[in-house]
Amino acid sequence: MKSQKLGRGLDALLGEIDEAYENEGTQRESILEIPLKDIRPNPFQPRKTFDETALHELAESIKNDGLLQPIVVTEDIDGYILIAGERRFRASKLAKLKEIKAIVLNSDEQKMRQFALIENIQREELNSMELAEAYNELIKLHEITHDELATMIHKSRAHITNTLRLLQLSTKTQKALTEKKISAGHAKVLVGLDEKEQQLMVNSIIGQKLSVRELEGMVKSMKQKNIQATKTEQKSDEEALDLSELKQKLNSLGFLAKTSQNKVTVSFDSQEEIREFLSHFTN
């Protein structure tokens, strides 16, 4: 019952901004012209990077054609806080506009956080790391499973899980992904490697222009070497047994015995020697 309740809550949230936009045409009085200087960015905005070239292109479009879709804000004690439409907000500032069209919604901090997450996921404007953090945030906010989130945002469970695994990467690897020095495909292959191994592979990707398939081959080879090295190390760590007394006893009985790495090898020249050897183990 809990997951169903949460699901309905998130579904309602998903539709709330859409509903505001749908009502825009019939409720013009709900759209205000607000001074840009009175609007503060959403502090819970999951998106950290914005393509400057794309922002300037959007700014030119707004200059020429106006803002086609209003931003969404909530009223604050000293102005407004942006809920949705940060690209339009930033581009309007670049276009040196004084005011911007906005829909005003009532919202608390939790809703602001969720609106920002959902809008960016729906618009597919987040990079891979931002998307992973957004999914993680939604899972924590609603206490839902990967399957439930996948159903709610119409993505596959594998996509959700694989994206969340990127959060296991080292800080340097995450930065390389964010800066587009490596692709999301590369990054997924690196999950599970330690920090030094990740850095080695990232350097190889950048320096040698490795494809994802080539990287998979290198990582597979490295893992096999690590397994072999571990086995060798385990063997070397085995306690060395003192077999000298046993060797001496066998030699005194007339048998040729050799020892090495906790092993005793006895050599025989005839069937008679074997029978004699076995006689020492029978009553």
Give the residue numbers annotated as catalytic, written as ranges: 86
Identity at 76, one-letter amino acid code: D
> Is the CB of residue 150 less than 8 Å from the CB of residue 156?
yes
> Residues, the chain, total?
283
The DSSP secondary-structure symbol of 34 reads E
> Is the CB of residue 17 less than 8 Å from the CB of residue 71?
no
Question: Residue 260 forms beta bridges with which residues?
Answer: 263
Identity at 202, one-letter amino acid code: V
Identity at 110, one-letter amino acid code: Q
CA 148 vs CA 4, 123, 240: distances in Å: 9, 20, 55
> Is the CB of residue 77 less than 8 Å from the CB of residue 45?
no
Q: What is the DSSP string of 140-204?
A: HHHT--HHHHHHHHT--HHHHHHHHGGGGS-HHHHHHHHTTSS-HHHHHHHTTS-HHHHHHHHHH
CA 208 to chain centre: 24
The two three-digit tokens of residue 170, written as one number: 């080292």
Query: What's the sign of the alpha-carbon dihedral 152, 155, 158, 159?
Result: negative
The two three-digit tokens of residue 50, written as one number: 């914005």
- Going by C-alpha positions, the residue among 109, 105, 65 that lies closest to residue 85 is 105
